[in-house]
Structure 1
């Protein structure tokens, strides 16, 4: 398809004259420079070309309908090279023939790419900051003072670098808002910071800036703003020193016992919490992601060599926490490392309850976790491991959900993630290997697609992986998945089922190592580009639309990047009518089943943003940019409600050449102020987000 717009049609803008993208300082603080190191997956799983031959002969059967049983009435077929019907409809609309189709509800005009130091939202929308780093969460919290911050103050204030945001209803226009605080960026938190010799107080401020916040928020009837409340009962701060419970089949394992906890069932704190999800029973799930960067001295001769699969630093860490608490020194406390990398469950209704780390959901760099309830009442949790060449997982509970809002039902449902079966995904394409050449060119059947299976790893105390006990599967999940032959993916991040259709969507952010470094896997049909810097969005449907099934059919929904580039694909939609999108990260859905995507590290030289795209119907694949975040920031969250959107604006102004002495963003307070990570609300002046 030509990238030149036809007469009367407007090509959506692409910014190309400013440098932007993930900064090295962000990589240092958030993930210990993961992409500058060799990817820790050195397994020799079978390549795509070795398994495709048995599938090609079945292509006729797949194209006859086995690849995708599309849910919902009136949905257009997903096969074909260019989805001609949507393109023709868009052309007719652009030329004024016929009335616009508003059935997708996305009635805003797309925001153009930019590098402004503010949130840029569509015309007709208002915005406000809900809560900033340092704003009070607990009663008695002092007013934020950048130059005189203390650990005691930070422990009562909103933490740093908020990522996931979730709302649990508390009443009419009132919610419990939960926010992850993924990591601290000390260079931007303290003037005169010496990274080689941080003070003990600076380290303890960092401990208090991590973790999680629960804040009561209410919608103001007159202004439309979402306002935080200093609620004495519900508001809560969880930090690196908060006590957690380890539960599930690996709890008490010899791999989880330390000198401070001989039971292997209690651990202090949570680290690098990225995305998450809200459960049907009103708790919040939070994923411990790049926990590895907090633990020093993995090169000690006494350290279990399996830590290498998780990328722990060989010597000192960036923050030097190991100087002030020996549990962050693997050579001195080797099993403490194994007590992080889990899905955490927090009950915002009970601020005195101990948060739980669920070993049954495996241990890896969890981006997040999202739940779907099966017809038989079992719950299914979808998860991604955010690393180059790592995997997609799901968990199916043994127990069944209890309906109702009684305290007894809630307590029973909080046990659902303690026992079940853990699976890892294997994807197979349906095109000849020669057609997957790494360029991103579509194969002859017009799309990247195929079938897949869920490989069981463990269930309860039973292991399905040769050479691994069950507790080893749960504690060293990455190595068990290597042995099981899972498919290596391009940084699987947020994975979430569409509540309207049941189809599941996974954001695969990027992988510039694919097929580039010697010995690294090349292009495969589910990861079809060499040096993939823009990422893609994967879509699959479980067999029979049953989330407990072990077979599924998949497609690439979006292959991201510049729409004028031949290696991009937008669900078959006319590429001259879409917004450019790069590095998808978090996903969410509105009431119509439209997919909303936030980005991280936009490689198209624009600020990161939030995008909306229909997943079915005539506009399937029409990506529209809803907002951009301030310069240097990442778009996190998001939350899509009927009448407002929440985004977490993480690390505004985090540029390599910036510092607390030289701030290059002044969002959200303007003037000469320091940048502050914050949650922001955006809402339409009239109508709903998705009419």
Structure 2
């Protein structure tokens, strides 16, 4: 039997990754975007071109030590249980773990247990997980696949015994999820199962007391799956615009589904924001400048996802579906406390490959959301709401606050270094002032309801935000991923994962905010808003870390001179009650030869820049969604373990995480391969 190319199962590519990931992860997570030219071909200026506009370093650092606005700090801490004043976690850092190790490694005196795994049933009538007899129906009632963003929100009045976990499911790996087949009907059902495994899960957790491990509650009224067929409403200035209308939605205000949800954030009013990231790989579309700028494929791939074979709307070449691709790439908002609520896609925050959106509150009550566009040479963005946040927890206040992201101003960042251009030579060598630092400004894209981009109206700016940012001259960055404000200090931290094309050929050269050519190991940026006002359009910045091994050339650890743990490819960031930074990684096996990890980084005092490794995930896995609950120095650390054993196959599984007790067994529905999972690490 001959199988049409679009119906063939996903196959692994030959090794091609130039940076951090395995070829399989490159294929499945981001559609091989590193194997193609970066979509950003704009000629906007770089630091090297603006060095002549350098300024006084003394003025740049004037606000660097300021504390967060009282309103922003209190509200951000309230949104994340465990944030507040405390002593932090006490642990002995672990040694780096060789990349071939199939184990989750934690500090001495700590242990880990799963909270919930791919396929665990969420509802009373959900089917039990049976890897050999999966179906779309069963997956819709089960915990989804590759988990990424996570928050664990303790419920009021529960005395620390009840919580709700909200988890993103970024993508699927059909090669290790399903037994091989060439039957077209079975392959079509596998696509539908994979579609159902995307999206988000909301699930209640319970424990017997503080300090005890959490267990998920099957059948809780709070449990929910949000997936590719879930109905979303559209908010903001682009809602109803012709660019969002399709034959199935002629008014452009209702979208089915969300996919490739990467990181996210929890709002001060208790909802969760989720970023739609590498949505391009799920479509085939016409060749237009707009689609090219987002990397949308224009031809059918024999190894792509090809969802259009089971759902025609993913073929944006077809009449009536040309705009379907414009309905993805947004920040979505889900209310975990109301399982009957309709989630929202917020157009006011712009459309790009959102890693996340994280919110703080300004002194005047407006809310500010930061987000990174996770691709080579893309940008960092900020949204400032038009409305002000209502105080209190009444139903009316919460309903009002759920409208805050529907209107406001959208900005993109331009960074300027303060060192002579000749001192930024691409090696990562510190300039003469011994810091990579400078000033920056937020360039308006939409301001007071009007477009600030010549030749584009407001809806066009929001639907084609990358093109708008190109036109105003934003700074090209090295894959800005998670961007979060520190709830204790108010400073903002951005994980720049890597960019192996920096300074290669005609690509953007090194600059002071991206100081290494062929940047494989990434860096972490610290940003301080002027007057510590998040609505300000000016800021100062510095690089906290230039990642790699402690003895590696061109690495920098915030000026700290003592021993540090090696760290590479920073991805997600989080904070504990002391304001210390926690960083999860995605790509250490391919750069420094160790399993991906979770690290704590000290931000203040003589130990600023000290990196301590807390845990390591199993082979071929990525560390995602860290959450740190550390009351009184004890507590729990949660992480999502994404794509363990990614490079294996159904017949040759590379990991047995987290069910190590029965490796290799597929009898009676027992799984003998990896299951992406949420885990908790607590004291033994």
TM-score by length of 1: 0.88
Matched, 1:669 2:659: yes
Structure 2 portions without partners, runs of 5+:
1-17, 69-85, 665-671
Matched, 1:659 2:659: no
Secondary structure, aligned partner of 2:281: helix
Q: Alpha-carbon deviations, 1:307-347, whole Å to 9, x = none?
A: 10000112125122111111111101110000000000000
| Counterpart mapping for 1:296-445 below 5 A | 296-299=284-287, 304-317=288-301, 318-332=304-318, 333-445=321-433
CA contact 2:116–2:679 (8 Å) conserved in 1 = yes
Offset at 1:187? 0.7
Aligned counterparts of 2:447 and 2:657: Cα–Cα separation in 1: 48
Q: Alpha-carbon deviations, 1:627-674, whole Å to 9, x = none?
A: 00011100001111121011000000001xx21111011111012211
Aligned counterparts of 2:447 and 2:248: Cα–Cα separation in 1: 29
Matched, 1:589 2:575: yes
Matched, 1:33 2:32: yes
Offset at 1:107? 3.0
Secondary structure, aligned partner of 1:434: helix
Would the alpha carbon gap of residues 519 and 197 (structure 1) be closer, same or farther in structure 2, given more than 3 Å must change?
farther
Aligned counterparts of 1:298 and 1:599: Cα–Cα separation in 2: 35
Secondary structure, aligned partner of 1:50: helix
Aligned counterparts of 1:47 and 1:199: Cα–Cα separation in 2: 47
CA contact 1:195–1:319 (8 Å) conserved in 2 = no
CA contact 1:430–1:450 (8 Å) conserved in 2 = yes
Aligned counterparts of 2:152 and 2:51: Cα–Cα separation in 1: 43
Say which of 528, 533, 537 aligns to 2:515: 528
CA contact 1:215–1:231 (8 Å) conserved in 2 = no
Secondary structure, aligned partner of 2:204: strand
Aligned counterparts of 1:521 and 1:503: Cα–Cα separation in 2: 27
Q: Alpha-carbon deviations, 1:604-624, whole Å to 9, x = none?
A: 111000000111112110000
Offset at 1:256? 0.2
Offset at 1:67? 5.2
Say which of 483, 494, 500 aligns to 2:482: 494
Match of 1:647 in 2: 639
Secondary structure, aligned partner of 1:667: coil
Offset at 1:470? 0.4
Aligned counterparts of 2:198 and 2:175: Cα–Cα separation in 1: 15
Aligned counterparts of 1:140 and 1:253: Cα–Cα separation in 2: 40
Q: Alpha-carbon deviations, 1:155-189, whole Å to 9, x = none?
A: 00000001000122313221111000001111111
Q: Alpha-carbon deviations, 1:342-378, whole Å to 9, x = none?
A: 0000001111111000000000000001001011110
Offset at 1:221? 2.9
Match of 1:87 in 2: none
Match of 1:568 in 2: 555
Secondary structure, aligned partner of 2:427: coil
Aligned counterparts of 1:197 and 1:601: Cα–Cα separation in 2: 36
Match of 1:100 in 2: none
Would the alpha carbon gap of residues 188 and 432 (structure 1) be closer, same or farther in structure 2, given more than 3 Å must change?
same
Would the alpha carbon gap of residues 194 and 607 (structure 1) be closer, same or farther in structure 2, given more than 3 Å must change?
farther
CA contact 2:481–2:497 (8 Å) conserved in 1 = yes
Offset at 1:20? 11
CA contact 1:507–1:538 (8 Å) conserved in 2 = yes
Q: Alpha-carbon deviations, 1:78-115, whole Å to 9, x = none?
A: xxxxxxxxxxxxxxxxxxxxxxxxx9745311111113
Matched, 1:112 2:70: no
Would the alpha carbon gap of residues 674 and 552 (structure 1) be closer, same or farther in structure 2, given more than 3 Å must change?
same
Q: Alpha-carbon deviations, 1:285-319, whole Å to 9, x = none?
A: 000000000001444xxxx4311000011212512
TM-score by length of 2: 0.89
Aligned counterparts of 1:149 and 1:493: Cα–Cα separation in 2: 33
Aligned counterparts of 2:138 and 2:145: Cα–Cα separation in 1: 13
Say which of 581, 587, 597 aligns to 1:609: 597
Secondary structure, aligned partner of 1:152: helix
Say which of 598, 614, 622 aligns to 2:584: 598
CA contact 1:187–1:193 (8 Å) conserved in 2 = no
Matched, 1:636 2:631: no
Offset at 1:231? 3.8
Would the alpha carbon gap of residues 20 and 627 (structure 1) be closer, same or farther in structure 2, given more than 3 Å must change?
farther
Aligned counterparts of 2:203 and 2:134: Cα–Cα separation in 1: 21
Match of 1:88 in 2: none
Secondary structure, aligned partner of 2:48: helix
Match of 1:147 in 2: 132
CA contact 1:419–1:460 (8 Å) conserved in 2 = no
Offset at 1:36? 0.8
Say which of 611, 635, 640 aligns to 1:623: 611
CA contact 1:215–1:234 (8 Å) conserved in 2 = yes
CA contact 1:45–1:486 (8 Å) conserved in 2 = yes
CA contact 1:20–1:606 (8 Å) conserved in 2 = no
Q: Alpha-carbon deviations, 1:188-238, whole Å to 9, x = none?
A: 111105599962211110111000000001123398211000244210001
Q: Alpha-carbon deviations, 1:373-411, whole Å to 9, x = none?
A: 011110000000000000000000011111111111110
Secondary structure, aligned partner of 1:225: coil
Would the alpha carbon gap of residues 288 and 65 (structure 1) be closer, same or farther in structure 2, given more than 3 Å must change?
closer
Match of 1:551 in 2: 538
The number of aligned residues is 627
Aligned counterparts of 2:210 and 2:456: Cα–Cα separation in 1: 60
Would the alpha carbon gap of residues 194 and 565 (structure 1) be closer, same or farther in structure 2, given more than 3 Å must change?
farther
Secondary structure, aligned partner of 1:409: helix
Secondary structure, aligned partner of 1:553: strand
Match of 2:524 in 1: 537
Aligned counterparts of 1:613 and 1:460: Cα–Cα separation in 2: 38
Match of 1:71 in 2: 66
Would the alpha carbon gap of residues 72 and 325 (structure 1) be closer, same or farther in structure 2, given more than 3 Å must change?
closer
Offset at 1:63? 2.5
Runs of 4+ in 1 over 6 A off after TM superposition: 195-198
Match of 2:121 in 1: 136
Match of 2:143 in 1: 158
Would the alpha carbon gap of residues 437 and 65 (structure 1) be closer, same or farther in structure 2, given more than 3 Å must change?
closer
CA contact 2:20–2:520 (8 Å) conserved in 1 = no
Aligned counterparts of 2:132 and 2:674: Cα–Cα separation in 1: 13
Offset at 1:132? 0.2
Offset at 1:461? 3.9
CA contact 1:276–1:284 (8 Å) conserved in 2 = yes
